[in-house]
């Protein structure tokens, strides 16, 4: 009768019987950020780097500018409409910088990989078609030009404030956890904590304008970062942020030693971030009025033009359009009707709300000529061209012309 074999003994026997046989383990999956394991020019190159180089060679004739245009065409449409374009384009910028520093072209980096049909097929799928997972992103894909500008908007100007908002910000975030998601009920509780903490800091400031400015400015950044991780279905946190924006503009900032250019540039940038969560809703013009834009309109126009160039260069298209809308609201707040038509020409028909604000302002002043000039200047192909033409007819029918 055969002797029974225990589990441990069986395992040993099995291991011995399989000794020398190929392992059945699958290779670990490759997502893209991993180092390219084959021979490559000096330097550290990833799978993504080589995939980019391969498709640049086989599909774009080794021309990185053509690759850029092809990437934009392939990744701008579809259900996700450009979601994957920004991180891939950001990686392209980073790769081109590294290749320039190494004095290499696409063909030198791709090397023999262009002759491997499997590599070419996978590179095309990864670069042109497949969704981009979080674990597949390189550092450059995570830190896109738009994201860097967004972070600059939240804290970039703080060292230039007479009292840095950093201290008040740290006090605000002590009572909330911004490193995890908050459900609806937790969001309501978080909003209450922010209200109480802000009130406490305002009282501690004792009426000092510089300290008040720091506290109010810290609240804006804290609110934006909180809303990024919160389910604000009830609207409590968003409404708190909206009031925080209004309260910030009420601080007498001219009484403190902050240069006007620093204040307005930071203000324009942070309005974009708060506006993403309704922070400027139904007070787009009032925030400029209360902040005193009338005295600095020329400066604000120049800063808008500068920021627009930056956003356009970063291909942050919606923010580039949005900042032109801020220019319109600033001009409405200042009553600068003589500037309306030029601003409308820049806006076109892509955003109807700032156009409507300028038209309404002109009509309140009895200036139908300017109202019509705004609509004529904006009447070109765009998302809201039908609205522009319909509004122009309404102005005529109401007897304003």
CB 185 within 8 A of CB 304: no
Distance CA 373, CA 359 (A): 9
Residue 239 clears pLDDT 50, i.e. is over it: yes
**Tokens coding 326:** 């801020």
**Tokens coding 288:** 């400029």
pLDDT at 147: 96
Tens-place pLDDT, residues 13-56: 344 445 445 555 777 899 999 999 987 787 889 999 999 999 99
pLDDT at 24: 57
Residue 80 clears pLDDT 80, i.e. is over it: no
Tens-place pLDDT, residues 162-174: 999 999 999 999 9
pLDDT class for 380, splitting at 50, 70, 90?
Answer: very high
Helix 385-397 crosses helix 352-364 at what angle (to 10 degrees)?
Answer: 20
Q: Where are the domains of the chain?
A: 47-142, 144-283
List, in order, residues 6 or more apart from 3 with CB less than 8 Å away.
none
Mean pLDDT of 340-366: 98
Distance CA 199, CA 197 (A): 5
pLDDT class for 10, splitting at 50, 70, 90?
Answer: very low
Mean pLDDT of 177-190: 96
CB 290 within 8 A of CB 249: yes
List, in order, residues 6 or more apart from 26 with CB less than 8 Å away.
none
Residue 108 clears pLDDT 50, i.e. is over it: yes
pLDDT at 346: 97
- The half-sphere exposure of 198 on its side-chain side, counting CA atoms within 13 A, is 23
List, in order, residues 6 or more apart from 233 with CB less than 8 Å away.
184, 187
The Cα angle at residue 113 between residues 108 and 114, in degrees rounded to 5: 85
CB 346 within 8 A of CB 324: yes
CB atoms within 10 A of CB 351: 19
Most distant CA pair in the chain: distance in Å? 111
pLDDT class for 401, splitting at 50, 70, 90?
Answer: low
Map 100-134 to HEC letters. HHHCCCHHHHHHHHHHCHHHHHHHHHHHHHCCCCH
Matching residue, tokens 């700032």: 354
CA distance readout (Å), 73 to 54, 126, 235, 313: 18, 15, 37, 18
DSSP 23: P
Share of the chain above pLDDT 70, in %: 92
Mean pLDDT of 251-256: 97
Output helix, strand, coil percentages for the chain, rounded to the nearest 5. Answer: 70, 0, 30
Tens-place pLDDT, residues 316-351: 999 999 999 999 999 999 999 999 999 999 999 999
List, in order, residues 6 or more apart from 161 with CB less than 8 Å away.
210, 213, 214, 217, 258, 262
CB 158 within 8 A of CB 164: yes
**Tokens coding 130:** 């497949």
Residue 2 clears pLDDT 50, i.e. is over it: no
Distance CA 189, CA 142 (A): 31
Residue 81 clears pLDDT 90, i.e. is over it: no
List, in order, residues 6 or more apart from 327 with CB less than 8 Å away.
300, 301, 304, 343, 346
Dihedral sign computed on CA atoms, order 112, 115, 119, 121: positive
**Tokens coding 348:** 């076109």
Q: Where on the phi/psi map is residue 133: left (φ > 0), alpha (ψ -120 to 50), or beta?
A: beta
Helix 260-275 crosses helix 209-228 at what angle (to 10 degrees)?
Answer: 30
Partnered with residue 230 across adjacent β-strands are 182
Tens-place pLDDT, residues 55-66: 999 999 999 999
CB 261 within 8 A of CB 299: yes
Distance CA 137, CA 151 (A): 19
Average pLDDT in the chain: 93
**Tokens coding 400:** 């304003």
């Amino acid at each position: 009768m055969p002797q029974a074999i225990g589990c441990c003994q069986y395992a040993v026997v099995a291991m011995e019987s399989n000794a020398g046989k190929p392992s059945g383990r699958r290779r670990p999956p490759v997502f893209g950020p991993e180092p390219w394991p084959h021979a490559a020019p000096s330097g550290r190159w990833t799978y993504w780097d080589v995939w980019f180089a391969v498709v640049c060679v086989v599909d774009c004739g080794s021309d990185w500018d053509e690759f850029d245009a092809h990437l934009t065409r392939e990744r701008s449409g579809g259900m996700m409409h450009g979601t994957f374009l920004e991180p891939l384009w950001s990686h392209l910028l980073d790769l081109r910088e590294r290749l320039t520093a190494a004095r290499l072209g696409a063909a030198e980096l791709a090397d023999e990989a262009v002759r491997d049909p499997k590599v070419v097929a996978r590179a095309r799928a990864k670069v042109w078609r497949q969704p981009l997972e979080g674990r597949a992103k390189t550092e450059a894909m995570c830190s896109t030009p738009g994201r860097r500008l967004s972070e600059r908007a939240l804290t970039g100007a703080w060292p230039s404030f007479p009292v840095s908002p950093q201290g008040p910000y740290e006090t605000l975030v002590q009572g909330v956890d911004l490193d995890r998601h908050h459900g609806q009920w937790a969001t309501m509780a978080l909003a209450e904590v922010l209200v109480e903490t802000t009130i406490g800091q305002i009282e501690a400031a004792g009426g000092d304008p510089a300290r008040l400015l720091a506290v109010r400015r810290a609240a804006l950044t804290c609110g934006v970062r909180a809303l990024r991780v919160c389910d604000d279905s009830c609207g409590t946190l968003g409404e708190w942020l909206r009031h925080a924006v209004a309260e910030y503009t009420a601080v007498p900032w001219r009484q403190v030693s902050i240069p006007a250019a620093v204040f307005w540039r930071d203000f324009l940038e942070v309005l974009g971030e708060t506006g993403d969560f309704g922070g400027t809703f139904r007070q787009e013009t009032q925030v400029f009025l209360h902040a005193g834009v009338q005295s600095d309109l020329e400066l604000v126009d120049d800063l808008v033009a500068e920021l627009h160039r930056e956003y356009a260069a970063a291909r942050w298209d919606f923010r580039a359009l949005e900042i032109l809308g801020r220019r319109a609201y600033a001009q409405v707040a200042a009553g600068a009707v003589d500037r309306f038509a030029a601003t409308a020409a820049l806006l076109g028909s892509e955003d109807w709300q700032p156009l409507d604000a300028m038209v309404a302002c002109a009509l309140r002043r009895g200036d139908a000529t300017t109202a019509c000039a705004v609509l004529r200047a904006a009447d070109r192909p765009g998302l809201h061209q039908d609205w522009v033409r319909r509004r122009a007819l309404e102005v005529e029918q109401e007897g304003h012309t």
